[in-house]
Amino acid sequence: MLNVPPPAFPAPRSQQRAAGGGRSKVPLKPGRSLMDWIRLTKSGKDLAGLKGRLIEVTEDELAKHNKKEDCWICIRGLVYNVTPYMEYHPGGEDELMQAAGTDGTDLFDQVHRWVNYESMLKECLVGRMALKPVAVPKGMLPEKKLLGVSAKDLTPSYDWFQTDGLITVVIYTKQKDMNAELVIVDCQDKRLRGEIIVNEHSYVLEVDLDHEVEDFFINIAEKIGKVEIILKKKDNVHWKMLGQPLESHNTFIKRKNRGLFYRKCKLVSKTEVTHDTKLFCFMLPKSTCFQVPAGQHVYLKQIIAGTEVVKPYTPLLPFLPLNFKEPSCHDSANIYLMIKIYSCGLFTQALDHLQIGDCISISNPEGNFKKSQVQALEDLFFLAAGTGFTPMVKLLNFALTEVSSLRTAKLIFFNKTEDDILWRNQLEQLALKDERFEVQFVLSEAAKDWMGKQGRISSSLLSGFVKRSRKDSKVLICICGPTPFTEQGVQYLKDLGYSQEEMHAFTA
Ligand code: FAD
Ligand code: NAP
């Protein structure tokens, strides 16, 4: 039997990250949910079709298996028989068939890097590719000149020194305007992991420390881009070295190619927002320090029926702050998530069953929204449907607090019924308090006595709502909701003459 090596970094059990682009889910037949798939994988059925053997697959052999009823796909050097999975695939058979009989790694990375395929498809494993092309690891900066500057010059570096009680690790990020949202540190059980975000890249320092530490804190010299991780020694001994380098130590790669890093967070509260939506508060462990920037999401990971399941959620504030005169203080120890519990939802049902004190794995933040998109902005619009409201909260707070040029911030909020509207009171209060802010609710299943707007997203609705406060004003329109809602919204806005740069669609 072939000994299949673990795929290269990211580690086999780690999750990959969210894909961009609007990918529509395909309605699945009854009995074809993720839970049904998990059950099938546990049934002992020979899903790979090789009676438990693993084989070495040549490119010619792979190419032969290119039909729905006999479909093999290679992902990162491992070959899977995906025929049994076809009907369970949320993206539909056609999406899988695009990679039939070929290397589907790029396609997989485009649409669902964050899905743990190793766990989901382990029973479908056929074997590994016989010949692996030798390639430079994806995302590594080439050692050539990059826009006239050598890649080496851009790569952060580190150094360390010690006093009797402290170890100071200094990271020279070579990046101006470093700030706390770009620094993620975990230090637990002698393992130190520091990640620095530098535009599209990520620098990681990861070591098994020489000795134990009691606590740590972080200093950031924003202007010169120097980050200090100061570790408090547990024992006042002299360290011979910082520690043993771990797998990702001193690497500088594209963010999208970095495996997600998770830590266990404790559920500290769960409060009702509407009949089906709850605000969950998770506490980061003391050994972790990070902030989730506005517009970014995290991944939550749970083991459900023995399989790792990962879903993205967008952290927000515990409430809508009403006083925008002062910058809001950061509650960086807690992560607040507003989550709709679907009656047949695999992940949300499991979340709903968590008890206070239970732990769940939460990843580093991700997302392609940049605060610079809001800089010097005059008109900000939000088109939100249901929980698509969540990315808007931090963003709205940031814009009203810190963007001095802002003249208007308008939210058009689509829901089925009045009972579904999230934070309605808070939004109405904010509109009363801050004259720049306006909110309009649109219901698709309105009761007879609803006096407000009705219907779904449409060109006529948007043309009446999304208007520049003055000719040529700098505008950004953020849109988030079910994928078809977002896609339609983007199309209507294009038809209304807004450019790509003037829109931001939050997608999965
Ligand atoms: P599943 O088991 O996948 O689906 C079961 C049933 O639930 C479906 O048949 C359908 O009826 C319903 N359902 C499931 N997913 C959706 C969906 N996406 N849209 C409409 N109906 C659905 N959700 C939040 O509640 N809060 C957030 O802050 C949030 N942030 C997100 C951020 C990103 C970047 C993305 C891509 C999604 C976000 N979601 C958020 C959605 C979330 O990731 C899950 O899709 C959702 O919680 C359903 O998971 P589930 O396993 O319970 O449902
Ligand atoms: P929902 O209650 O089902 O729908 C909210 C409103 O959107 C309803 O008025 C609904 O109208 C309308 N709508 C739904 N599908 C539509 C479509 N295809 N075209 C036009 N209008 C449509 O929404 P939800 O259950 O809260 O779901 C929220 C969605 O946002 C989820 O898909 C979630 O994944 C997504 N989300 C994404 C992010 C992100 O960052 N990418 C963050 C949070 C949430 P009808 O009654 O007519 O259906």
299 in contact with ligand 2, CB cutoff 6 A: no
Q: Which of 2-11, 107-116, 172-181, 376-385 is predicted least confidently?
A: 2-11
Amino acid identity, residue 80?
Answer: Y
Residues 386-426 have pLDDT tens digits of 999 999 999 999 999 999 999 999 999 999 999 999 999 99
pLDDT digits (tens, 9 = 90+) for 396-407: 999 999 999 999
Mean pLDDT value of segment 244-260: 91
Name the closest-CA residue to atom 40, ligand 1. 313
No. of H helices and E strands in the chain? 11, 30
pLDDT value at position 9? 29
Tell me how many degrees the CA angle 36-341-491 measures, rounded to the nearest 5.
Answer: 90
User: Which of 376, 428, 414, 367 lies closest to 394, judged by CA?
Assistant: 367
DSSP state of 261: -
> Whole-model pTM?
0.80
Find the range with the poorest average confidence among 127-131, 401-405, 452-456: 127-131
Q: Label the pairing between strands 166-172 and 145-146.
A: unpaired
206 or 34, higher pLDDT: 206
**Test site for ligand 1: of 298, 303, 311, most ligand atoms within 8 A of the Cβ:** 311
Could you tell me the distance, in angstroms and rounded to a whole number, from the CA of residue 386 to the centre of ligand 2? 5
Kindly tell me if the per-residue pLDDT of 17 is higher than 70: no
Given a cut of 90, whether residue 363 has pLDDT beyond it is yes
Query: Which of 444, 453, 479, 487 has the most ligand 2 atoms within 8 A of CB, as the residue to mutate?
Result: 444
**Using CA atoms, how far apart are residues 88 and 85, in angstroms rounded to an integer?**
5
222-229 average pLDDT score: 91
Pull the structure tokens for residue 94. 């056609």
d(CA 397, CA 321): 7
pLDDT of residue 344 exceeding 50 = yes
Contacts of 125 by beta carbon, 8 Å cutoff, 6+ apart: 4, 48, 54, 78, 79, 80
CA distance 487 to 314: 19
Nearest ligand, measured from the Cα of 34: 1
* 22 Cα to the center of ligand 1, angstroms: 15
Predicted local confidence at residue 259, as pLDDT: 87
Distance CA 488, CA 144 (A): 42
pLDDT score for 12: 35
Q: Is the pLDDT of residue 114 over 80?
A: no
Shortest-distance ligand to the CA of residue 386: 2
Angle at CA 75, nearest 5°, toward 72 and 81?
25
